[in-house]
């Protein structure tokens, strides 16, 4: 068992104030450290997540941030797995504690992906995060690859453009009550359907934005947590898995098989036998609107996920709310910080300390966070639970 003693995150947006990732990482870390009620000298290890050196222009960012954060002497390392980087960093920190290699670990994720480079340069770089030879250097975009997967999913499951538009509307609406969100919008499904086509079936408002920002966690062994934090949320299960990189090599390019395996591993560790009945909150990786439905299916959150989606089961007032933060589409997507921000949402919801307009009336007892890199090629799933009653 690993306690999440403290959480912190910056606003996710486009920074035009001259600040950089080192400023944002420091801000998120300081907030988490204060919440954890421990000193920086108590931190044994630092795990840093960021996707690309091209975005930060900083090789070996873990050592630089260890110095900036006043953690000289602590072990430090970087975790990277594309869009899954943040959750992989959380898993790395948890593993250090579970293995006995550390008792208190800071996990800090960041990405300066919105302001430093042009949109075209960022799009090209993201193409290299799939198969650079067959995709990126051929000019294939991430949107086109996700769109191909979505089309296969739609053909198999009967999902429609209207379903995808509803996800865009819901997530941006949740973001309106999230003061840290990048893209809070009150939309109609028609506005989504009429936004410019990027790659069928995805239109502009089906896509998540590029964002700048950082997020942080302080993880501790139960014996190393301040007494006042023994009732905090904890990590009860972690699971990771991979899939074939190229969609054409998969048995079903519309199904996130790697995510299903990662979820099963996390559920087994957390002793969850019926995720569709036991999980009460989910933050899933919605880089594109349809990917949210694909995640719900692969995570096993529903036996009849299309029917339950249309019946409102995954809304704020439903049985299993999904992406109350606004998800990547509303809250934003600084890649290295995204998975850690999902953890922040899950932990604060469990502890009844989330944003007032989004906090569930009955705090969830079990929450799941899910990220992936590529088109669900590298998948990481984390289960969070509240303190035993």
CA quadruple 65, 47, 243, 234: dihedral, nearest 10:
-140
- Top-confidence range, 55-64, 129-138, 151-160: 151-160
pLDDT surpasses 80 at 301: yes
Assessment of whether the complete model's pTM goes beyond 0.85: yes
What is the phi/psi pair of residue 159, to 5°? -65, 150
Q: Over the stretch 241-294, which tens digit does the pLDDT of each residue have?
A: 999 999 999 999 999 999 999 999 999 999 999 999 999 999 999 999 999 999
What is the phi/psi pair of residue 234, to 5°? -135, 155
pLDDT, averaged across the chain:
95
pLDDT surpasses 80 at 340: yes
Give residue 76's Cα distance to chain centre.
22
Cα–Cα distance list, 237 to 212, 233, 368 (Å): 29, 12, 9
**Rounded distance, CA 12 to CA 328, Å?**
10
**Residue 368 corresponds to which tokens in the numbers above?**
């799941």
**Rounded distance, CA 104 to CA 94, Å?**
9
Domain at 2-116+211-229, CATH class: alpha beta
Q: In what order do the strands lie in the sheet with 378-385?
A: 75-79, 45-49, 104-112, 212-220, 2-9, 234-242, 378-385, 366-373, 281-283
Domain chopping of the chain, boundaries: 2-116+211-229
Give the pLDDT of residue 92: 98
DSSP state letter for 208: P
Task: Report the 10 Å Cβ neighbour count for 196.
Answer: 7
Task: Report the 10 Å Cβ neighbour count for 134.
Answer: 12
CB proximity list for 110: less than 8 A, separation 6 or greater: 21, 24, 25, 28, 48, 49, 50, 56, 61, 213, 214, 215, 334, 336, 337
332-353 per-residue burial string, b: 16 or more CB within 10 A, e: under 16:
bbbbbbbbbbbbbbbbbbbbee
Q: Where does the pLDDT of residue 347 fall: very low under 50, low under 70, confident under 90, or very high at 90 and above?
A: very high
Give the pLDDT of residue 124: 79
Give the pLDDT of residue 117: 76
First-to-last C-alpha distance (Å) of the chain? 16
Alpha helices for 160-245 (secondary structure H) = 161-175, 189-194
């Amino acid at each position: 068992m690993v306690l999440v003693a403290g959480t912190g995150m910056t606003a996710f947006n486009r920074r035009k104030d001259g600040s950089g990732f080192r400023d944002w990482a420091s801000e998120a870390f300081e907030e988490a450290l204060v919440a954890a009620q421990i000193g920086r000298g108590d931190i044994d290890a630092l795990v840093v997540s960021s996707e690309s050196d091209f975005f930060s222009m900083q090789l070996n960012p873990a050592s630089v941030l260890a110095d900036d954060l006043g953690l000289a002497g602590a072990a430090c390392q970087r975790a990277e797995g594309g869009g899954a980087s943040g959750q992989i960093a959380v898993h790395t920190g948890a593993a250090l504690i579970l293995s006995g290699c550390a008792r208190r670990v800071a996990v800090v994720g960041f990405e300066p992906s919105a302001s430093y480079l042009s949109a075209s340069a960022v799009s090209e770089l993201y193409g290299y995060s799939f198969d650079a030879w067959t995709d990126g250097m051929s000019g294939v975009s991430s949107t086109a690859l996700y769109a191909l997967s979505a089309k296969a999913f739609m053909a198999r499951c009967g999902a429609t453009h209207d379903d995808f538009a509803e996800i865009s509307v819901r997530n941006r609406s949740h973001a309106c009550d999230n003061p840290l969100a990048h893209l809070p919008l009150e939309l109609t499904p028609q506005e989504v359907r009429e936004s410019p086509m990027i790659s069928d079936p995805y239109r502009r408002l089906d896509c998540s934005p590029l964002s700048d920002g950082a997020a942080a966690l302080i993880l501790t062994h139960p014996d190393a947590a301040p007494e006042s934090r023994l009732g905090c949320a904890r990590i009860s299960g972690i699971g990771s898995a991979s899939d074939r990189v190229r969609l054409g090599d998969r048995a079903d390019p519309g199904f996130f098989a790697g995510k299903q395996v990662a979820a099963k591993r996390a559920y087994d560790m957390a002793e969850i036998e019926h995720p569709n009945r036991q999980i009460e909150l989910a933050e899933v990786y919605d880089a594109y609107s349809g990917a949210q439905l694909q995640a719900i299916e692969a995570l096993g959150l529903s036996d009849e996920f299309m029917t339950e989606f249309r019946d409102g089961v995954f809304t704020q007032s439903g049985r299993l709310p999904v992406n109350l933060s606004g998800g990547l589409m509303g809250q934003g997507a600084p890649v290295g910080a995204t998975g850690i921000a999902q953890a922040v949402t899950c932990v604060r919801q469990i502890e009844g300390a989330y944003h007032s307009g989004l906090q569930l009336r009955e705090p969830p007892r079990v929450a799941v966070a899910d990220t992936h890199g590529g088109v669900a090629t590298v998948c990481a799933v984390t289960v969070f639970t509240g303190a035993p009653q």
